[in-house]
């Protein structure tokens, strides 16, 4: 058995013993801690039914304690609802969103010194919750988590923090775009591009696709606003990154790159910039996509 599995089995045994000792005798705060810890181990072991049973028990204790006037330590409170929300992501998105709403009421109390949450953990939790909410159609409810992540990460020049801040800016831009605030969305994509470009230049960018998609998304907004030169500039920057990945055989989505080159070419042709458009059509043809060669011939361009 791998060492990690052995460690988890040992931890589970310890928490089983702790829960058994505390059930019926308390104190409730210690039983709450034990349920959360055992449930967290069960999640790591992919025993999701048992994990959610423990998180249900933890939430029940929280409700009872707070109803009796005993405020639960912020880290314990948030961890119970975070874990249960994660467990409900696939089966009950509305239930997940309800749990994440409970977290929002205590976000201000997560100052990096609570149980379970140092500053990096706070940022990670907030980004994970925001992504879950965006993925399940609750985009507008992601903003408090993204604002908290930005406040925790801001001012820290550590590459890990700057990469997370880039993610936060991109996610916030996506939320603002989805909720109709296109101007603010463009600004946040711009902030993500500035940070991502700085990280890339220093060799610290973890995911170059993050930067490429920032350019794509900001360019799309600029195209909608009929600012064609700016649209072309952003999509060319994205294409340059993806072309590099293609040349290295590291690009998973070749169709995306082809689509970007075609979109640039189409915009340039409308502007009468045929020579520049030809360059992008030829780049798309290089990738072996059916139909591109015929498109070139129809435009009077020799694909050879």
Q: Give the start-to-end residue ranges of the domains of the chain.
A: 3-227
Indicate the SS3 state at residue 117.
Answer: strand
Q: Which fold has domain 3-227?
A: 1.25.40
For the chain, percent helix, then strand, then coil, each to nearest 5? 75, 0, 25
How many other C-beta atoms lie within 10 A of the C-beta of residue 20?
A: 10
Comparing 34 with 24, the larger pLDDT belongs to 34
What 8-state DSSP symbol labels residue 140? G
For the chain, what is the largest distance between any 2 Cα atoms, rounded to a whole number of angstroms? 85
- Contact status, residue 194 vs residue 173, Cβ threshold 8 Å: no
For 129-160, the pLDDT digits (tens) are 999 999 999 999 999 999 999 999 988 899 99
Residue with tokens 């210690």: 30
179 φ, ψ (degrees, to nearest 5): -95, 5
Kindly give, in sequence order, each residue whose CB lies less than 8 Å from that of residue 51, ignoring residues fewer than 6 positions away: 39, 40, 42, 43, 83, 87
Q: What is the token pair recorded at 174? A: 């996506």
Query: Rounded to an integer, what is the distance from CA 287 to the centroid of its chain?
Result: 30
Asked if the model's pLDDT at residue 1 lies above 50, the reply is: no
Q: Mean pLDDT, to the nearest integer, of 64-78?
A: 96
Asked if the model's pLDDT at residue 301 lies above 60, the reply is: no
Return the closest-CA partner of residue 80 out of 90, 68, 64: 64
> pTM higher than 0.75, yes or no?
yes
Asked if the model's pLDDT at residue 195 lies above 70, the reply is: yes
């Amino acid at each position: 058995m791998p060492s990690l599995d052995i460690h988890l089995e040992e931890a589970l045994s310890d928490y089983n013993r702790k829960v058994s000792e505390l059930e019926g005798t308390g104190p409730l705060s210690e039983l709450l801690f034990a349920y959360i810890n055992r449930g967290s181990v069960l999640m790591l072991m992919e025993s999701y039914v048992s994990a959610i049973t423990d998180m249900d028990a933890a939430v029940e204790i929280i409700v009872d304690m707070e109803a009796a006037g005993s405020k639960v330590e912020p880290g314990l409170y948030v961890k119970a609802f975070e874990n249960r929300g994660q467990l409900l992501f696939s089966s009950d998105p509305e239930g997940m969103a309800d749990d994440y709403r409970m977290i929002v009421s205590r976000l201000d109390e997560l100052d990096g010194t609570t149980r379970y949450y140092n500053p990096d953990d706070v940022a990670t939790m907030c980004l994970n919750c925001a992504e879950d909410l965006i993925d399940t159609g609750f985009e507008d409810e992601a903003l408090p988590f993204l604002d908290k992540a930005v406040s925790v990460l801001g001012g820290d020049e550590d590459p890990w923090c700057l990469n997370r801040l880039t993610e936060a800016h991109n996610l916030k831009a996506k939320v603002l775009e989805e909720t109709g605030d296109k101007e603010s969305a463009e600004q946040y994509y711009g902030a993500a591009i500035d940070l991502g470009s700085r990280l890339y230049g220093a060799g610290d960018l973890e995911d170059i696709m993050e930067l490429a998609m920032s350019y794509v998304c900001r360019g799309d907004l600029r195209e909608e606003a009929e600012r064609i030169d700016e649209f072309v500039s952003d999509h060319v920057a994205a294409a340059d990154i993806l072309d590099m990945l293609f040349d290295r055989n590291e690009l998973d989505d070749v169709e995306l790159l082809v689509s970007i080159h075609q979109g640039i070419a189409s915009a340039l042709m409308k502007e009468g910039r045929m020579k520049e458009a030809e360059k992008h059509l030829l780049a798309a043809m290089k990738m072996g996509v059916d139909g591109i060669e015929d498109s070139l011939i129809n435009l009077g361009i020799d694909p050879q």
